[in-house]
Chain A
């Protein structure tokens, strides 16, 4: 039985998918933890949708869509960083505008591209089963860059998330660090688009970190636990989707969402029983 469920591991495209899931999980766990503790899910969503615009334009120009995605992601990270610094009171409206315009640009350029349009769906919902070796290599480099930057700026990022005023007072380059953090989110979004697609990026970026945050009070452990959970969600999603013939990205996100709800309920019950114990 186990053999029949996991027998699909012998296929190379499945091995690639599993490896892509691993790379995506590392980035999602580490960077997603910052997204959750700094509460910038909406901004991350804005970046993700702008990425579709970049992919559409790259696709239209006959370039590698992932390259377009990286350019658009970094561009939107800078733009949103600037909005946060210069026009904070309109921030959520501008994010909403960028969100919609980015996506519309993507759709228009893909429609303008002659030929058979299967790729829009794969951008929206991901296609982890189509990940090739060159793509894996690119994801690996992106992961390495993200981890390196996080290692270097780990304490400074933590301080700007916890107490931006103190960071400013102590001479940290708050604006530059914030934009750098948005760039890391942008790169993570690019990786995740390849795995679960644009629509589901935010789920994989935030749900594992949110679950992890319920169980630990250390940012480092939160990142590790979030990465492990994300790996569990992507790999179990792969197994389930293969065996039931469902879209992989959607199954992964359902697994993550159900786990989040379960963790939240468990936490509630646990706190309640502790309060009852302590009241005796």
Chain B
């Protein structure tokens, strides 16, 4: 079976500081991989390598058999909701619609099909009633659901999430993990989280990065 995501002998450093060394990783269809570890252990770096935002110093990152920086359109990416400017003039529905945008989308209007996909993603996440609210005015948990809906609007086969439960309360956190476990029936999921205890109940595989490269276990399927 071909891997959805594959890292072979990947090294990455910021300047002279080696963050990831000799990483071997294979993620297969319908995996639910949690990448956990303390701050500075390279979790986010690993994610950004998979997304193709960073290029490894050594080794190879491939996603659906393509080099990572060419595979972006096949990935549904969910960034942290805290990254966004609260004053940006945009509605929740527009945020979700953005998930449908591509490099040859001209003129201001989205198509009927774009609206249908966006709205059904919002129904699936139970956030359709927020459609016309300003995105910046939503709570952390609501924003996170909108961003997950945005990623799903393009019907990706792989969902990549960066700390989806940062800055939300405990009940919402559980809610989001349960939601992801449900989504996992359809899509492969890679999620970065600092909450190793809780995510272990939902994820099928856990990759622990502890920042000391020597002890890093090679990742293998459970």
Contacts and interface: CB of A to CB of B under 8 A. Distances in A.
A217 B89 contact: yes
Interface stretch (B102-110, B201-209, B213-221): B102-110
A168 interface: yes
A152 B104 CA distance: 10
Contact of B89 (A37, A155, A159): A37
Contacts of B198: none
B79 A165 contact: yes
Name the residue in A39, A161, A169, A221 with the highest tally of chain B Cβ atoms < 10 Å from its Cβ. Answer: A169
B88 A169 contact: no
Contact of A162 (B75, B88, B108, B134): B88
Given A159-B101, A165-B79, A170-B103, A218 B89 contact: yes
Interface in B83-129: 83-85, 87-91, 94-95, 98-99, 101-103, 105-108, 110
A171 B108 contact: no
B102 A219 contact: no
B149 interface: no
B72 A169 contact: yes
Nearest to B108: A154
A171 B103 contact: yes
A163 B108 contact: no
A151 interface: yes
Contacts of B10: none
Interface of B: 51-53, 72-73, 75, 77, 79, 83-85, 87-91, 94-95, 98-99, 101-103, 105-108, 110, 134, 136-137, 150, 154
Contact of B107 (A154, A169, A170, A172): A154
Tell me what chain B mostly uses at the interface: helix, strand, loop, or mixed. Answer: loop
Given A168-B72, A218-B91, A173 B108 contact: no
Interface in A131-170: 151-156, 158-159, 161-163, 165-170
Given A163-B98, A213-B89, A153 B84 contact: no
Contacts of A153: 106
A222 interface: yes
Contact of A165 (B77, B101, B107): B77
A49 B110 CA distance: 38
A152 B99 CA distance: 19
A159 B98 contact: yes
Interface of A: 33, 37, 39, 151-156, 158-159, 161-163, 165-173, 213, 216-222
Given A169-B77, A170-B103, 4 more contacts: A39-B85, A155-B107, A156-B105, A166-B99
A171 B73 contact: yes
Contacts of B136: 217
Nearest to A154: B108
Nearest to B154: A170
Contacts of B98: 155, 158-159, 162-163, 166
Nearest first, the 3 closest Cβ-Cβ pairs linking A and B are: A169-B72, A217-B134, A154-B108
A182 B51 CA distance: 27
A163 B87 CA distance: 14
A192 B91 CA distance: 31
A154 B101 CA distance: 11
A80 to B, nearest CB: 21
A172 B101 contact: yes
A14 B108 CA distance: 36
Contacts of A173: 103
Nearest to A217: B134
Contacts of B103: 156, 170-173
A35 B83 CA distance: 19
B202 to A, nearest CB: 25
Most chain B CB within 10 A, of A33, A154, A163, is at A163
B101 A156 contact: yes
A182 B99 CA distance: 25
